Structure 1
Amino acid sequence: MSERSRRSPKRVHRALAVLTAALTTAVVGGAGVAEADVNTSPDFLVVYNNNVENMVPATCYGDDFGLFVSYLKNRPKSPDIFTVQQVSNTAQLAALTKRLSDELPGTYSGRIAIAEPGSMGYTSTCGKLKNQQTNAVVFRSDRLTFEQATTWRSDAPADPEAGTGGCQNLEPTTTSQDRVHNIAVRLHDTVTGEDVTAASVHWPTGTWHGPDCAAENMKEANEAVDRLGGTLKIVAGDTNAPPASANWWDNARGYGFRDPIAEKCGARDCSSAYNTTTNYRIDFLLVRSGNGFSNATTVTEQMTGGKYSGHRAVAADVRY
């Protein structure tokens, strides 16, 4: 029997879905031009992750988030899923999804962990723009439809300043830690008929001894995506913990997650060329239940033409 004859019903369904979408685009006049660069493949999703650092103006910290948007505009396919950390509030998330919808092929929506996060206690002019911080999942709503969400808080030691005691939820303080409130969403892929769950996480910094609880935070992230289910499960975000901290990365592998960047560099502990901050690789895109990836990338300042955030984005085409 030929390879063509052995195709599964699911593959046939996906192929028919893509053919139908292509014929629809051809009939609807100008729509083909407007969405020429969206991903219509049934085989993979284009996924990005970035701690956007509240997208402050370049006059504050020298970060120009517009450089990253320009980079996305020049990629072969626009993102299907974009997990983001340190978004200020619902107003800033709405501004982000509108900008992506206006400037990239496709239409974008998003879900945020906390609508109005508590104050981080900043007092400087630039700091006020970062006074609220939480996390969100942005997705291309012309392909992916929202089904369900779950949220949870990251852990730190019971006495987070001293770093003593067992791991427990890091509750808000006078310098709020609503930026450690995580969100996962289950999305339905209208091209494939499959469900995909994506989580955007931000774990506590070393100030709160967050890396000591990295293994517990990975466990809770895995449980969150399991609660929602889906053919693909993605956990991405700012861990504030290198892969060796508390063996969290090895535990993630034990849960079945794969790390596209580690597979590209050939080791758990990549060289500094793959750092996502000045000194560390602490931003990750982890995939479970997938069939591999391609185009795994750490988006450097050289690629964007300048500094766009205090964190480098990571990306991959994630296969079903």
Structure 2
Amino acid sequence: MSIRSNRVLRGVVAVLTTALTTAAVGVVSATAASAAVNTSPGFLVVYNNNIENWLPSSCADGKIWDRLVTYIKGRPLSPDIFTVQQVSNQAQLNTLTQYLSDQLPGTYAGQIAIAEPGSMGYTSTCGKMKNQQSNAVIYRSDRFTYEAATRWRSDAPENYNAGTGPCLNLEPTTTSQDRVHNIAIRLHDNIANQDVSVASIHWPTNTWYGPKCAAENIKEADEAMGRLGGDLKIVAGDANAEPDDADWWNDAKAYGYRDPIAEKCGSRNCSSAHDTLGSRRIDFLLVKSGNGFNNAGTISTSLTGGEYSDHLAVASYVNY
């Protein structure tokens, strides 16, 4: 049964939604008015981004992370839901949700996979060297009531240094992989009067031969969705795997998930316009039990006026 829990933080949705929604490869006009909250019971505005380079603002040129927020401000609707990967810890999530609440319409809260992740073994707090890394789901607390959460670790081969053996949970090491700890939460949508379950995932990189276990990782993500239930299910994040790896994308389709970006481009293997990290499409927004999409797209740096993270965000309006 649902347990109505503490709200965490407010104000993230409006800022991030606007940026992500409009960025969707030019689907929304660049001349749109300033963001407003989505009051429709028929759909949700959903964004996903690996934000490893967003905070602190002292990193890079001090402007990288707020380029996306500034872009969102100009979009028609702020995000209802924003899944993020490689946020440092609870303190950084608090900073982010407060900033979004201050900058965008709406009030935001978040749930994180691990409040204080283990050290990655780095000395720098900037960019790829972010010393602590976890994953979180940010949502509009003025629309949703938080109900429950489930957490689990991603899989890599048993011998992850050689890429051999069965797929097993990747446990922390001296260079901790707490960034592969996933979180899914169930929210009650007080406008639509429906429950939605949302997962923020981060699967192991090629360093740990993670793509070999992509099929197991989508299976476990779907099992997490099953534990939470809900009228609508969303799995989003950094898969560190392309659609062809271990045939995981076809498995996701068999489980009932749809890929708004693939449906936009006409194939699971999209053109380079939808690559999210270098020449690879490894960041996904997957939807189960939905009734289609609008305004799906990949948010290019040309839309934001420059780089805002190593990864490009993906976004879509998701229909109930």
Q: TM-score, normalised by structure 2?
A: 0.87
Residue number in structure 2 paired with 1:16: none
Query: Structure 1 residue 54: deviation in Å?
Result: 4.9
- Whether the 8 Å contact between 1:218 and 1:248 is mirrored in structure 2 is yes
- Residue equivalent to 1:53: 52
Q: Structure 1 unaligned runs (5+)?
A: 1-34
Residue of structure 2 in register with 1:249 after alignment: 249
Question: Which amino acid in the other structure matches residue 87 of structure 1?
Answer: V
Report the equivalent of 2:120: 120
What is the alpha-carbon distance in structure 2 between the residues aligned to residue 257 and residue 165 of structure 1?
28
Contact 2:53 2:65 in 1 (8 A): no
Residue in 1 aligned with 2:29? none
Q: Is residue 53–residue 59 contact of structure 2 (8 Å, CA) maintained in 1?
A: no
Q: Helix, strand or coil for the counterpart of 2:226?
A: helix
Q: Paired residues, what number?
A: 286
Equivalent pair of 2:236/2:284 in contact (CA under 8 Å): yes
Contact 1:225 1:233 in 2 (8 A): yes
**Structure with bigger gyration radius:** 1
Q: Distance in 1 between matches of 2:245 and 2:302?
A: 29
Question: Could you say which residue in structure 2 is the equivalent of 1:147?
Answer: 147
Match of 2:18 in 1: none
Distance, in Å, in 2 between the alignment partners of 1:36 and 1:210 is 38
2-structure distance, mates of 1:295, 1:92: 29
SS at match of 2:251: helix
Q: Secondary structure at the match of 1:55?
A: coil
Which consecutive segments of 4 or more residues in structure 1 shift more than 6 A?
Answer: none
Task: Find the counterpart in structure 1 of residue 109 from structure 2.
Answer: 109
Q: Aligned AA for 1:89?
A: N
TM-score, structure 1 normalization = 0.87
Question: 1:114-150: per-residue Cα shift (whole Å, max 9, x none)?
Answer: 0000000012463696100000000000001100000
Counterpart residue number, 2:36: 37
Q: Distance in 2 between matches of 1:237 and 1:128?
A: 17
The separation in 2 between residues aligned to 1:41 and 1:126, in whole angstroms, is: 38
Determine if contact 2:299/2:313 at 8 Å carries over to the other structure.
yes
The equivalent residue for 1:11 is none
Question: Any idea what the Cα deviations from partners look like across 1:31-52, whole Å, max 9, x if unmatched?
Answer: xxxx971000010000000000
**Structure with more of its chain in helix, by fraction:** 1
The separation in 1 between residues aligned to 2:42 and 2:57, in whole angstroms, is 38
Amino acid corresponding to residue 170 of structure 1 in structure 2: L
* Distance in 1, Cα, partners of 2:223 & 2:269: 25
Q: Contact 1:111 / 1:137 at 8 angstroms: preserved in 2?
A: yes
Q: Write the mapping of 1:209-228 to structure 2, written as runs, cut at 5 A.
A: 209-228=209-228
Do the aligned partners of 1:81 and 1:138 also contact (CA within 8 Å) in 2? yes
CA contact (8 A) 2:151 2:181 kept: yes
Residue type matched to 2:111 in 1?
R
Which residue of structure 1 lines up, in the alignment, with residue 9 of structure 2? none
